[in-house]
Chains A and B, each alone.
Chain A
Amino acid sequence: MTALRRGVPDRVPWIENWIDIDLQVRLMAGRVDYDPGELCRRLGMSAFGHTYPSGKKTGPTLIQSLRDRKEAYYYPKTVDFDFTPPWIAETATDEEGRTHIRKGLLTSKDSLALFDEFLPDPDHKARYEQVARWIEQYREDFAVFARIRLGTINMLESLGIDRFAFMVFDEPDLVKEVHRRFSEWTARVVEHLNKMDFDFIWSADDMADNRGPWMSPEMYYEFFYPYQKMVADAIKKPWVFHSDGNLTPILDGLLSLGMSGIHPIQPEAMDISSVKRKYGHRVCILGNISVDKLSIGTPEEVENEVRERISSVGPGGGYIISSSNTLTSYMKTENVLAMAEAIKNYGKYPLPSTQPSR
């Protein structure tokens, strides 16, 4: 939490937005019955907020009806701190259990009726009560975070990004209304989360690719900012904003939302050292160990990247190390463990010199 407040902690903290269950189980030597704190200790992480297998075998769980989906949201069966709104979209699950979006269903003004069908009641008590019990049961000395979305990626995926691109011109009011409804739902959820014992909130929205945002700065302020601000203003705890891609053209606007930290500063799209230099006085920087290195690189390459990031971004505090997206099932276990070891070796303040160790 010290780092998130731009202070200098005793060590560079490590936090991940999400860890695929399959990878978690491999890291825990095949076990599915571990507590969040056990996984944190295994890796040396400082916080948790993911979904855990909770003693159940992993594998795809296909929830068919919308009513069943709402019930699964209200009464989660596995340890989960997720409060993200569902996609209003046709989805499918592949053979490895990953859910993907086939197509957005918000195609017209009439389709707005789907909000009532898809979105759970944000005031339904059951999920909050269950998660509060989990926080109390598992917290130990770790920070616990809730996962939300500001509504942006929900709007984009529920319309379809290509349909969004046309609707900005063809039906601008519909685009705004869709974003408003998702953001309004999240703001209502946040009012409940504020009263719970979370240490911070992590908001995951994608709105850019390697080249830049999917909208011009003018479009950002008209179609996105008012609704993101609706949620940001509701949040009364420290919070982290996530988006992949090159956010540079809209970064000043984003930062005015008042987040405590920004993640991941995707290495293919932005330079994390420059962002720290320019914005480190305003916001904690989280990132950005390359998912490519963690997936197809070697442990030595991962170690070198961790050492380099800590030495270039860590000085002065206000830095939390993290992958450049999430820890996925297709990452090499040895690389994730190499990341853990390197953070332990190089992440103690005062930080080692920048000279390479070998």
Chain B
Amino acid sequence: MAQEVKLFEDMRNAVMYGKRDALKELIQQAFKEGRPPMSMLEALVPAMHEVGDKYERGDFYLPQMMIAARAMSEGLALLKPHLAANQTKPKGKAVIGTVKGDYHDIGKNIVKMILEAGQFEVVDLGVDVSPEKFVAAVKEEKPRFVLMSALLTLTIANMEKTINALSEAGLREQVKVGVGGAPLSQRYADRIGGDFYGKDAPEALRKCEQLV
């Protein structure tokens, strides 16, 4: 038991510090020892929350968060073939995009990476995404979340247009809409009829987990 606790703690630390090679070896060791894949998955999941906490406290910066997310994603990929379908079902599905007229994608890309590491399925619509394209994606992908990013004050108006387009298409009640980006705030999210504002990627993950 103590041996398992130590092994799983080492796996979590490997994720936290982005040691993907070490994580791979530890997962292989765990398989050799007959550890159930589901218990390995459950052991890893808290790691991304700890990474998010460290990032928000200022102990981790962007590179540390990114390599942790990468390690987590690679760990999940190793576990997936050994898990039953219902054990690997994503927690939820999100479509994400930078709104029309805006080409900034770094925030969107980081959120996508953190959500995937947090076991969400993410459909990336890219940049300069029109309200019509968001609506089409919701019809096709049937996500739980529509996540919109913008960096320019000019383009945040397109978030409200997208929300209105979802309402007109009769899709608004089916999804939770999250917004993020430098000019955004919870107050703005409320004003335009959004469900939440995520100040950073870890908060986006938390909100999606709460609202799924």
Q: Does A58 contact B (CB under 8 A)?
A: no
Whether A162 touches B61, Cβ cut-off 8 Å, given contacts A94-B101, A291-B153, A292-B183, is: no
CB pair A214–B62 under 8 Å, yes or no, is: yes
Number of A-B contacts (CB under 8 A): 65
Residue of B nearest to A297 (CB): B153
User: How far is it, in angstroms, between the C-alpha of A92 and the C-alpha of B128 when the chains are bound?
Assistant: 12
Smallest distance from the beta carbon of B198 to chain A beta carbons, Å? 12
Instruction: Provide the residues of chain A in CB contact with B61, threshold 8 Å.
Output: 212-216, 219
Number of interface residues of A (CB under 8 A): 30
One of A37-45, A164-172, A190-198, A304-312 contacting the partner: A164-172
Residue A100 at the chain B interface, CB threshold 8 Å? yes
Is A330 part of the contact surface with B, judged by Cβ < 8 Å?
yes
A296 to B61, CA, bound (A): 32
Measured CA separation A161–B67 after assembly (Å): 13
Interface flag for A211 (CB, 8 Å): yes
Interface residues of A in 254-308 (CB under 8 A from B): 268, 291-292, 295-296
Among A100, A244, A249, chain B packs the most CB atoms within 10 A around the CB of A100
Q: Which residue of B lies closest to A161 (CB)?
A: B106
B18→A169 contact, CB < 8 A: yes
B183-208 Cβ-contact flags toward A at 8 Å (1 or 0): 10000000000000001100000000
Encode contact with A along B67-110: 1 for CB under 8 Å, 0 otherwise: 10010000000000000000000000000000001011011011
How near does chain B come to A309, taking the closest CB pair, in angstroms? 19
Q: Which one of A101, A219, A249, A328 contacts B63 once the chains associate, using CB atoms below 8 Å? A: A219
Contact of B64 among A209, A216, A295, A296 (CB under 8 A): A216
Question: Whose C-beta in chain B lies nearest to the C-beta of A217?
Answer: B61
Contacts of B183 in A (CB 8 A): 268, 292
Interface of chain A residues 68 through 100 with chain B (CB within 8 A): 92, 94, 100
A345 within 8 A of B: no
* B138: A residues at CB distance < 8 A: none
Complex-state Cα separation, A214 to B60, whole angstroms:
10
Interface positions of A from 150 to 185, Cβ below 8 Å from B: 161-162, 164-166, 168-169
With A212-B58, A215-B61, A292-B183 given, is the CB distance from A169 to B200 under 8 Å? no
A295-B154, A328-B154 known; A162+B110 contact, CB < 8 A: yes
Q: Taking the nearest CB of chain A, how far is it from the CB of B98, in angstroms?
A: 11
How many angstroms from the CA of A165 to the CA of B70 in the assembled complex? 11
- Cβ–Cβ contact B153 & A169, under 8 A: no
B182 in contact (CB, < 8 A): yes
Q: Which residue of A lies closest to B61 (CB)?
A: A216
Extra contacts, 20 of them, besides A166-B66, A214-B61, A215-B63 (Cβ < 8 A), are A94-B103, A94-B128, A100-B103, A166-B63, A166-B70, A169-B18, A209-B182, A210-B182, A210-B199, A212-B58, A216-B60, A216-B61, A216-B63, A219-B63, A244-B182, A268-B183, A292-B153, A292-B183, A295-B154, A328-B154
